[in-house]
Amino acid sequence: MTTFRLPVRLLITMAALGFAAGCQQQMAVQPRYQPLSSSDYFADGQSARQPVDGTLAQGRAELDYLYVDKNATAFPLPLTADLIARGQQRYNIFCSPCHGLTGDGNGFITTRGFRRPPTFHSDRLRSAPLGHFFDVITNGFGAMYDYSAQIPPRDRWAIIAYVRALQLSQNVPAAQLTPDQRAKIAQGGAAQ
């Protein structure tokens, strides 16, 4: 009986292989146009169609000027009070839970046992180019994940402007203060 099973198995295997070889995926042989070829179907004779009115391209080319190199040192937007105010609002929403309201790295997450993020007031981050901050917000860095989906490019720049204002507020050279501001600091008050 074992001598009879071998030819039966061989026949079944060969039949299955023949059946599989005869199968065809219909998607592989469907009619299609080559890119930029002509077409008799459309009135304009083109196979490629224009996007529907109102379609926005992924990435939106008109915002490309906001994407800069990591080493960029200039703002691509004009620095205005409105931009910094928007940056403060966005910073308080997205950044302060980790970096703290003053950028010192003592945000709420540290009370929950998470690692403390770096302070924005360190020499390393005060001297970091603006492009570094844009890159970190866009792509993430270390334990920080990226915010490219949550924060549009214009708001990223607003946050960066606000971070620079925070850095300046905590590290103004005494020579740049007015005599009134120095007196307030000497009395224990805040400089305004």
Lowest mean pLDDT across 19-23, 73-77, 90-94, 180-184: 19-23
User: Model confidence over 60-96: pLDDT tens digits?
Assistant: 666 777 888 899 999 999 999 999 999 999 999 999 9
pLDDT value for 62:
62
Rounded CA separation 192/185 (Å)? 10
> What is the span of the domain harbouring residue 138?
79-172
User: Model confidence over 117-160: pLDDT tens digits?
Assistant: 999 999 999 999 999 999 999 999 988 999 999 999 999 999 99
pLDDT value for 81:
95
Asked, for residue 18, whether it belongs to a domain, the answer is no
Identify the sign of the CA torsion 123, 90, 172, 106: negative
> Total domain count for the chain?
1
- Residue 94: which CATH number? 1.10.760.10
Task: Answer yes or no: is pLDDT of 55 > 70.
Answer: yes
pLDDT value for 21:
67
Phi first, then psi: what are they for 141, rounded to 5°? -165, 130
Q: Which residue has the tokens 């940056």?
A: 87
Asked, for residue 7, whether it belongs to a domain, the answer is no
Asked, for residue 31, whether it belongs to a domain, the answer is no
Asked, for residue 107, whether it belongs to a domain, the answer is yes
Asked, for residue 105, whether it belongs to a domain, the answer is yes
Rounded CA separation 187/164 (Å)? 27
Task: Answer yes or no: is pLDDT of 3 > 60.
Answer: no
Asked, for residue 165, whether it belongs to a domain, the answer is yes
